[in-house]
Amino acid sequence: MTDEQDNDHEIDPLRRGLLAGVPLTAAALALGAGGAAAQQAASAPAPGRRMLGGLETSELGLGVQNMHRTFHTIVPHRDDVIALIRTAYEEGVTFFDCAEVYGPFLNEEILGEAMAPFRDDVQVVTKFGYDIDLETGAWDGGLNSRPEHIRAAVEGSLRRLGTDRVDLLYQHRVDPDVPIEDVAGVVSDLMDEGKALHWGLSECGPATLRRAHELLPLAAVQSEYSMLWRGREDDIIPITRELGIGFVPFAPLGYGFLTGAIDMATSFAPGDFRANTSRMDVGEDGGGNRAANMAIVDLAREWGARKDAKPGEIALAWLLAQGDSIVPIPGTTQLPHLRDNIAAAQVTFTEGELAELTAALDAIEVQGERAPPMVAEWSDVEAPDAT
């Protein structure tokens, strides 16, 4: 498909909903499937389940990002992480989030092998958008959402995952050189072919979110969101609620910080992402940003004592309480941590308790940036106008 064909491609949003198996009421059809009415016309989820647009998932997902190498730069045994993914499924997790860039390629292969016995019972997520050599896996740090690259990337992901379709396909980062109309056009074609059932955006700018949803209704937006970083409450989350789009928080435990596993004496390996985030900085006097941010961990511990839960469970439960269309995707390679995360779905707050906890969070001013500059520059990007 040529770029010109992409720009001229007519996208029928009703056809997309029917392809994905989303039941639409007559009223929703009359209003048009591009708005919240059509998204909300999907059938209510089963108990313990949630809706991302028209996609039903488990309350919590599993991030399959570091199964080949942890943040600590440890390489887990492949058999162990496959067993962990299968245990997650056995304990009710059916939403598995991956991407071609994770590895690159290796985590899709791990997930594909792990989920093979129950592929039809789970929701599989992958992402495109980085300029990865699709033969060698080499990556120079750039982005690439040209239509021909998207198609080739998705074909590779399907092969590695051992499946004929992904349930949710994200643009991993908005490409500042490619109009979102071109991206939606090729994704629409992939949906026509049954290779993608739903689509979404990750770390997008608000204007691009609205444009993309108008073109081809989005099921979900993914971004960092946790008790440690709440920036999306100001821009993206209000739009997702308005339009009936789901929201998927990554790093819902603040890259492990909110579990209480990191203290003032913790050091990070040079290759650990967290070593390059200023919110983890420790000053020469032993204070610094990390010391200020420990107030959030202390708050989670306090509420853990009140709820007979661990700090990380409180952090996840608080996220789950922010709305029924929010599905956090904590990642782990440790079975005890997986079970702690799953247990968070059993922690509940009364309306008064939630207001009290949120007010206490509001009073804490988080210090430092959430990501290194190179990573931060890929967030909140707006796609260029179509030509």
Q: How far apart are CA 323 and CA 316, in angstroms?
A: 12
Residue 33 burial class via C-beta count within 10 angstroms: exposed 0-12, middle 13-18, buried 19 and up: buried
pLDDT of residue 69: 74
pLDDT of residue 131: 97
Q: How far apart are CA 125 and CA 142, in angstroms?
A: 22
Q: What is the pTM of this model?
A: 0.88
pLDDT of residue 75: 73
In a domain, 382, yes or no: no
Catalytic member of 89, 102, 225, 255: 102
In a domain, 281, yes or no: yes
Residue carrying structure tokens 């492949």: 78
Three-class secondary structure of residue 258 per DSSP: helix
pLDDT of 17 above 60: no
Closest by CA to 50, choosing from 250, 255, 339, 319, is 319
**SS3 helix, strand, coil % of the chain, rounded to 5?**
45, 15, 45
pLDDT of residue 142: 94
Exposure on the CB side of residue 330, measured as CA atoms within 13 A? 33
In a domain, 380, yes or no: no
pLDDT of 20 above 70: no
pLDDT of residue 70: 62
**In the numeric block, which tokens belong to residue 214?**
């108008």
Query: At 265, which CATH number?
Result: 3.20.20.100
Q: In sequence order, which residues have a C-beta less than 8 Å from that of residue 165 and are 6 or more positions away?
A: 158, 194, 195, 196, 197
Q: List, for residues 262-302, the tens digit of each pLDDT value.
A: 999 999 988 888 989 999 999 888 889 999 999 999 999 99
pLDDT of residue 182: 98
Domain range holding 290?
3-375
In a domain, 300, yes or no: yes
Q: How far apart are CA 63 and CA 256, in angstroms?
A: 13
pLDDT of residue 126: 98
pLDDT of 56 above 60: yes
Q: How far apart are CA 60 and CA 241, in angstroms?
A: 19
pLDDT of 345 above 50: yes
- Name residue 156's amino acid: G
Q: Note if 102 is an active site residue.
A: yes
Name the average pLDDT for the chain: 89
pLDDT of 341 above 50: yes
Domains identified in the chain, total number? 1
Say how far residue 211 (Cα) sits from the centre of its chain.
20
**Over residues 345-371, mean pLDDT:** 97
Q: In sequence order, which residues have a C-beta less than 8 Å from that of residue 199 and are 6 or more positions away?
A: 168, 169, 170, 171, 187, 191, 216, 218, 219
Give me the percent of the chain exceeding a pLDDT of 90: 80
Under 8 Å between Cβ of 82 and 73: no
